[in-house]
Structure 1
Amino acid sequence: MTKLIPSWVESANTAETDFPLNNLPYGVFSTNRLEARCGVAIGDMILDMAALEEAGLLDLGAGTLFAAPGWNAVMAAGPKVWSALRTRLTDMLAADAADQATIAPHLVPTAEARMHMPFTVAEFTDFYSGRHHATNVGTMFRGAENALPPNWLHLPIGYNGRASSVVVSGTDIRRPWGQLKSPDHDMPAFLPSRRFDIELEMGAIVGTPSDGPISVAQADQNIFGYVLLNDWSARDIQAWEYQPLGPFQAKATATTISPWIVTRAALEPFRCDTPAREFELLDHLKDAGPMLYDIDLSVTLAPEGAAPSTIARTNYNEMYYSSAQQLAHHTTSGCPMRTGDLLGSGTISGPEKENRGALLELSWGGKEPITLDTGETRSFIEDNDTLGLHGAAQGDGYKIGFGDCIGKVLPALKDPYAGT
């Protein structure tokens, strides 16, 4: 395991920070005096990339990369530029850097910044690749003997979601309306969701585009980085609509991502293998080495005015299929993948109750409410609850964090069609 790389930015040298020099994640920020622009987190500061480029301190031989407030131009520039950028940033911020006085004026305190979407999402695909989650949900609805569909152990199941509804951490989420049908009613009703939920996921961001099938090894190289991802889910809307084509409006309310893109290079020391296979995968999906990452994850829930309670802890290494396998599978039909495509891992749960990454599992469909530190109970999200996803890979004296992935659930509109 690699050790902490010292920086002249002192706040980056603590074991507590999410953003040591080993990390260098990419985001978009603004302040009262600065319009939205690309930045790199280092300790409790943000390095202003637009200012560096304008000052001639960041010429990577790929033209202007930071004129727009988003990392798509860097993604599209390809792996050689990604590597050159990381090397240049590391040299700038290392403890023995010669140009500290030149770089220091371009650092902005994170406390003064507002975070924005770090990239423009081209398209969004959500997968269903956590075995514990799939088994738990399948058991609830179909019984233990039919928990996993026949295809599940052979390919990553997914569905196409809505890129337009992906939002950055800190964005409030409005409780959705939809068609609900209770078992004791003959007809559905149009009502606010009563079983609104979260899904603890990781999101992989495609950097290098492809046109036609690619291998798992190629797919791994095409991934630019990762974010925490909460795919908000209206379970009652989903229960009525999902047969036979799967989720639709139940998953279209919002998908929240963390504000910082953590690169593959930063996560490289934390690679680990996928779980043992029950059936050998077909050649086009076989692992091309360690494809997952050892990233500790947790979920918090805070009622309005109360401190957050940790309601779940798990690890990304519980996934059955890696993001590289999901991306490779996505291309098998010839489907082109574009710079900025976002792939949700699927809910990440572990073997124990406290490892479950959704309230649907934690409360076992509402039959076993969980108790918060305040003494309150929850089966699903109540109005004005704030949900948070948190994650970090733990190194030797440092960690690689993503920044929190936070969303507060506001009450549903009283009449979503008022005035129409």
Structure 2
Amino acid sequence: MDFDVIVIGGGPVGENVAWRTAAGGLSTAMVEKELVGGECSYWACMPSKALLRSGHALAAAQRVKGVVGGSLDAAAVLERRTGFTSNWDDSGQVQWAESENIHVLRGNGEVTGEREVTVRGADGETVYRARHAVVVCTGSVPKMPPLDGIGDTPVWTSREATSAREVPDSLVVLGGGVVGVEMAQAWARLGSQVKLVVSGDRPLPKMEDFVGPLVAEGLQADGVEVLLNGRASSIKPGELTLQDGRTVRGSHILVATGRVPATKDAKPLTIDDSGLVSGVDGRWLYAAGDVTGRALLTHQGKYQGRAVGTAILERSRGFEPKERSAGQAWADHVAVPQVVFTDPEVAFVGHTAEEARAAGRDVKVVDLDIAVAGSSLHADGYKGRTRMVVDERTRTLVGVTFVGQDVAELLHSATVAIVGEVTVDRLWHAVPAYPTISEVWLRMLESYGL
């Protein structure tokens, strides 16, 4: 029962590793205990964005004069969401894997020795060995807060929030991170009475300081009650009690207080840029994705997976991955893009101004409202904001943030600029098309002083 490579975890990260090594001629097995395709396909990225999209489309139409009426059909939105999950059936994903010469092993995989993986499934326990590499891609799981009563209270996590078959009468969302704000807006627009409990003074506190207030304003416009500085102390069915004595009630409670790596001790596996796990002799154990704690984002995990697969292939052929090559996930350190699919959207890449200064950089910050011909055509009364953070020593971008309707499509240009270390002087000659929202790039560079 030997393979060249054994990947534990059949989500998008594991799929990318397995595809890369199998395509390179290495016999590859992929172990999955639930559904091939993982969290993103069935309980996270795809269903959550499907729940949001219909409401965004309706709101966008209503912001343009000449559109009259319109409403959401909640049942149809949920049906569309279910279509994106293939009704939680992974047979199509399994067929794809097998067509790519990836052997799918059903069960719970565990590293039980050097180059050894034990799979415990419905048919019992089987031990497999890897000639070249074992790759851990087990992802992450919801982090439960230490609240009185949490163990006795049925709550929603992100899984229930994205797979629910009916709209809850009322929903309390605990947590002002990405999952919290996205699900608060999705269910509010589908007809639920939603209350969002945020522990600090704004949602999305790790992003630039203007982001959270703009997102909170968008949520409130959809009827979400946003409770700031709301640290929870206890929970029971239908009721959340805050430390300041406030009581928040709802028919359902979504706990969205973060995620932790899916390891035995909930601690991340430390890796180098090629994915090798630190402290393991023999250079055979790799990891990628959420389990590394580097960037809990599907696209970044897939990027790491491609790097790991490439590194394994190169080492199997006697070569070492070169610095900043496809076998090293070095962009993890400089340009991690992220989109929060609320309305307004948030699109961010690189470092915040605060992070850049803390790292000792001499930075110049350019803040602007998004007010160009393209935005005014896009929506009547378009409201948005952007920030550009420039390293003055190198005259290159180290961080860019956009907030506004449909700004996600602006993000890749910022990512390319940061990864490519393009100077602001060269960016001046990247002429944005008129009339598009991208013209805000010209306004940012003008404000910078070019």
TM-score band (shorter)? under 0.3
State the structure with bigger RCO (CA 8 A, min sep 6), 1 or 2.
1
Higher helix share: 2
